[in-house]
Structure 1
């Protein structure tokens, strides 16, 4: 049931997630995230994730009414306010002023997460602290049919607002595990017959085009500045790199992810 009401006070309890968008740890404790923008909010409403509330200018209400009315939640508070008021409430300048709060889904056990149709393809992230880069990698996962994302303990969450926005809501449909130990998760995946391949631009790495990506594998990406940590590299079966001229020493991680995932799709006859 829709509960449509104007914003009469910033102190309303339902508006707390919008007032606290800079408090990432608080949202993490509550297992909630903020979706921003018309397309991202639409994809949230079309997903199976729980929708907690919606905040938007009145002119967008009719566009979303059908989707809102089709939701399974017994009550969804929908707050209506002019865009300037939304910006005042959140403390952010916005293009459309359309927001929603969703519930982070429970994570599956790792063995269940890894149970996918063959050939399996996963992505793992180590040390990615820029949430927009994380979101861009998530978007690549959706574009090239990765079946799940392992996020290491030193990486930003894919459910941060900027990550959700830059990923265009792909995270709503992508299985994700935010693991307390990426090394242990990779070792377990390896024990389940999944080859662990590090994106590692070093002379000792093999050319990406020479690496067999047709079987079960997990592609591991690190930060552009520091690359992959030594314990992560030691958990990998092999290292692969995109050949580049000597004056270019690396790619942005999202660009590297796009290249690696496209190559996997190409080898599997999907591109």
Structure 2
């Protein structure tokens, strides 16, 4: 059930997450994240994730009703003219629609294996600090059927506002594991029969077309500037490159993920 509250004062405690949009680490500590824009908010409302509240320009209220139909809990929507909403959050709002969602309970290594049947297709990220690049990778991972995302300890969070926005809300569909040590987790994946393949530029490595991705595998992507770290690379089964034209030495990490994962689903006969 949707409860609508016209904004008459900024003192309402439920507005605090919107007043602290630039304090995203504080949001993480509270176990919440920001969803922004029509598609990202709609996916949130239609997902299994918890919803704390909505901040909307009044014309959105009618559209929200069918999106909320499957939900039984009370959800509070705070309403104001778009110009007032922009003053509240501190930046221009293209669509005038935000939501606060609840970050799901942390998944474990075992959850990733138990929830997802073989042939498994996992993605791991190492040292990826740009939230928008991480979100782009997540979107491509979801598009090509990746089931779980392992976020290394030196990475940006996939629940930051810009990451969620760049993912177009597809982060809601993945099992997200944030291990204390990505290298140790990859070793454990290998022990469980999951091959770990690093996307990395190295002179003696195989090309993507020479690599068998049909069985359980986890594709590891690194920092765009330096690639996969030596510690993580050392525990992978192999390093694989995408051949490129002369003069081009790398791809954007989101593009690299799309190329690798398309090849995986192609080999599995899914496209």
TM over 0.5: yes
Q: Give the whole-Å Cα distance in 2 for the aligned partners of 1:6 and 1:159.
A: 28
**How much has 1:82 moved relative to structure 2?**
1.2
Question: Which residue number corresponds to residue 56 of structure 1?
Answer: 56
Counting only pairs closer than 5 Å after superposition, residues 163-174 of structure 1 correspond to structure 2 as: 163-174=163-174
Q: Find the aligned partners of 1:180 and 1:8 in 2 and give their Cα distance.
A: 44
- The secondary structure found in structure 2 opposite 1:114 is helix
Q: Offset at 1:245?
A: 2.4
* Contact 1:2–1:69 (CA under 8 A) maintained in structure 2: no
What 5-or-longer segments of structure 1 have no aligned partner? none
- Cα offsets for 1:155-208 (capped at 9, x unmatched): 111111001101000011111011221111111111100000000022222100
- Greater alpha carbon shift after TM alignment, 43-52 vs 76-85: 76-85
Change (3 A) 1:45 1:228: same
Q: Which residue of 2 aligns with 1:91?
A: 90
Q: Measure the CA separation in 1 of the matches of 2:7 and 2:65.
A: 18
Distance in 1 between residues matched to 2:35 and 2:142, nearest whole Å: 17
2:224 is matched with: 224
- Greater than 4 Å deviation, 4+ residue runs: none
Structure 2 regions of 5+ residues with no counterpart? none
Aligned counterparts of 1:18 and 1:84: Cα–Cα separation in 2: 14
Q: Which residue is 2:242 aligned to? A: 242
Q: TM-score, normalised by structure 2?
A: 0.97
Pairs within 5 Å for 1:1-271: 1-73=1-73, 75-115=74-114, 116-271=116-271
The answer to whether the Cα contact below 8 Å between 2:125 and 2:220 also exists between their aligned partners in 1 is yes
Question: Would you say how many aligned residue pairs link Structure 1 and Structure 2?
Answer: 270
Question: Do the aligned partners of 1:195 and 1:217 also contact (CA within 8 Å) in 2?
Answer: yes
Q: Deviations over 1:116-149 (max 9, x none)?
A: 2111100000011110011011101111000100
- CA-based RMSD of the aligned residues comes to 1.0
